[in-house]
Amino acid sequence: MIDFTLTPPQEAIRTQAREFADGELVPNAPRIDRQKEFPHANLRKLAALGWLGVLVPRDLGGAGLDNLTLALIGEQINRGCASTGVTWSVHNSLVCSPLIRHGNADQQRRYLPPLARGEILGAYALTEPGSGSDAAAMVSTARRDGDFYVLNGSKAFITTGGNAGLYIVFARTHPDPSLKAKAISAFLVEATYPGCKPGPSDAKMGIRGSSTVTLYLEDCRVPAANRLGEEGKGFHIAMDTLDGGRIGIATQALGIGQAALDAAVAWMRESAGDPAIYESQPNQWRVAEAATELDAARLLVWRAALLRDLKQPHTPQAAMAKLFASTSTNRIVRDALALRGEAAIIGDTPFERFFRDARITELYEGTSEIQKIVIARSLLKP
């Protein structure tokens, strides 16, 4: 039995995150999106709150909190600014988390304190131009050379790639293609290593304040001491990390959806004198359905986060949370856009930004189709 009642400290952090979002993120989100501005100032403020190391143990400079609290904070950050939210989520869920779960004591001591303080940002480099959903088909290589590995290849769609100080990079350490996933290893690659070269930021439809690049590895020499986990175990690390990442993106979708609902409800209240808007049953049904779906998504996110905290299997639960939250939110923002009408796409309105920001939540950290495969396999396996 899982108890969904939040503790007083969790409620307090949730309130603090909501107030931070309203005071610091909401006012600046339109400018960040319009100018495609990386949210340096927001991230510095999050670091000051200790929220760039939410999961990092206290003795390593972090907040020492749990995945449920990470989700509570994440919903509010993404409600305020999705560009800040995805940068923050990748840093916590895809970089700090695997270092905590799979790094050795030396790696944790070297990298977790500066990550938690925001002195460096983290990025996760799994996807390649020719291998998206089928991550095991990657072709980047890591050849052992004495006390180093020499990495060659390229990684695509790397969030925070242009601003990261540390990348977790996955590459093949054995040339036999038949080994597929068993030939993949993970590496901690510092941005200053020669041969590690991020390309220019990609032009994107949404989350335009985040940095997304192709990462090029050209004879990049990485100390063997920076291999994360055992050789050949990188794919296991990648999939375990993506369970947490999918909870993070489900949380992002939840925050965007809540922001869209809040904006729609506020507009309807302002239109209380117009029965065609305020008393319209179809309009009321739209917001009622949105509120119900968001609550259901929130419970799925909380369940997956709690299972991860309890160190129980949660791969299908994380996939369910991401699938439902992302598809529901995309439907909610479309309805909010339709509810507001033409005014929603003219000028600097939040509705069209929510629409653009929401779309990616169905694509990264595994498409909706991949989530369905994950869920189905969990049901059909013997």
* Model pLDDT for residues 133-185, shown as the tens digit of each residue: 899 999 999 999 999 999 999 999 999 999 999 999 999 999 887 898 999 99
d(C-alpha 82, C-alpha 89), whole Å: 10
Q: Residue for token digits 């509705």?
A: 351
* Domains, the chain, ordered by start: 8-121 (1.10.540.10), 123-234 (2.40.110.10), 236-380 (1.20.140.10)
Cα torsion 154, 230, 226, 84: sign: positive
* Model pLDDT for residues 34-46, shown as the tens digit of each residue: 999 999 999 999 9
pLDDT of 378 over the 80 cut = yes
Q: How confident is the model at residue 1 (pLDDT cuts 50, 70, 90)?
A: very low
Q: What's the distance, CA 259 to chain centroid?
A: 17
DSSP letter for each residue of 335-350: HHHHHHGGGGGSSS-H
Torsion of CA 56, 58, 61, 67, to 10 degrees: 20
d(C-alpha 93, C-alpha 101), whole Å: 11
Q: CB count, 10 Å around CB of 329?
A: 31
Tell me which residues are annotated as active site: 365
Residue 323 corresponds to which tokens in the numbers above? Answer: 């699938």
d(C-alpha 187, C-alpha 144), whole Å: 12
d(C-alpha 309, C-alpha 317), whole Å: 13
